[in-house]
Amino acid sequence: MDVRIGLIFLLFLLSCNLSDREQKVYASPRGYDLKEPVRYRVRESMQEISGIELFPDEHKIMAINDEEGRIYQLDVLAKEPYPHFKFAKDGDYEDICHTDSGWFVLKSNGSLFQVHGLFTDSVYSDHHKMPKTGKKEFETTYYDSAHNGIVMICKNCEDDKRHGVTSAYRFDLATKTFDTTAVYKFNNQEIARLAGSDMRFFKPSAAAIHPIEKRLYIIASVNGLLVIADLQGHVQEAYNLKHRLFLQPEGLAFAPNGDMYISNEGGYDGTANILKFTYKTK
């Protein structure tokens, strides 16, 4: 009888521990309410929407479909087909970045395509191949104007797995060359601690610098996280995202006033959309 009671008590403790691990806290960073977005549905052509960039204002959003070498110009209120511009052959394109040197699109293997003649009938691109060897996968870029470069964050790089980090690499816009070493590395355990999860690998899917806070906001679709760091890669905050609202977040952009836009792919069980979160300073 004592043995049976002991086993029951042990099973109870184990179930409590599992319940504690599975219980996630859903909070919002200061200035935002992640439970109350404005929702914009996108047309069927953009069900695989990936990277986004506001241009020239919040009414128009430049975006890519991650299966085509096309840039689309989305009007969130439009009922007509979106204008689009073919810059390269079909492939796995993951993010778009607007810089002082023009438009760039990231391919999943780390290559960058500099797009010329956008909004015209003569669009073409220059291909900049990342020299990093070994298995690598990228979904995230952002423009670092202070260093005149584009920063790309690994989603799945074999070097990182062994060390429990997630590396970021820079493309120098002045020389059109890639840095050979990481500019910084995120500590995956620190992110897991802040999020209250048992995450092993951090897999970013979008990032952008907040125009007012001057901090880096990062979305990780696989992890269901919004992570905030300084521009040197030191993680400061992490927030769990509810899957019901963030089905597959793949794009992130800010308006100059701090309003945050996050795009969700449609996937197999939903409709693609863009969520707007109003930034409140008080």
Q: What is the CB neighbour count within 10 angstroms for residue 247?
A: 20
The runs of H, that is alpha helices, within 23-162 are 158-161
Encode pLDDT of 167-188 as tens digits.
Answer: 999 999 999 999 989 999 999 9
At residue 5 the predicted structure's pLDDT band, cuts being 50, 70 and 90, is low
Pairing mode of beta strands 235-240, 249-254: unpaired
Structure tokens at 52: 């986004």
Q: What is the pLDDT of residue 19?
A: 42
Distance CA 153, CA 184 (A): 9
The runs of H, that is alpha helices, within the chain are 2-22, 158-161, 188-195
Q: What is the pLDDT of residue 208?
A: 98
Residue count of the chain: 282
Q: What is the pLDDT of residue 20?
A: 42
pLDDT at 98 over 60: yes
- Put residue 196 in one of left, alpha, beta given phi > 0 → left and psi -120 to 50 → alpha: left
Is 238 within 8 Å of 194 (Cβ atoms)? yes
Q: What is the 3-state secondary structure (H, E, C) of 160-224?
A: HHCCCEEEEEEEECCCCEECCCCCEEEEHHHHHHHHCCCCCCCCCCEEEECCCCCCEEEEECCCC
Q: What is the pLDDT of residue 267?
A: 74
Which residues, in sequence order, are CB contacts of 63 under 8 Å at separation 6+?
46, 49, 50, 51, 52, 53, 71, 72, 74, 96, 251, 263
pLDDT at 190 over 70: yes
Nearest to 50 by CA among 96, 117, 97, 112: 96
pTM of the predicted structure, to 2 decimals: 0.91
Q: What is the pLDDT of residue 21?
A: 43
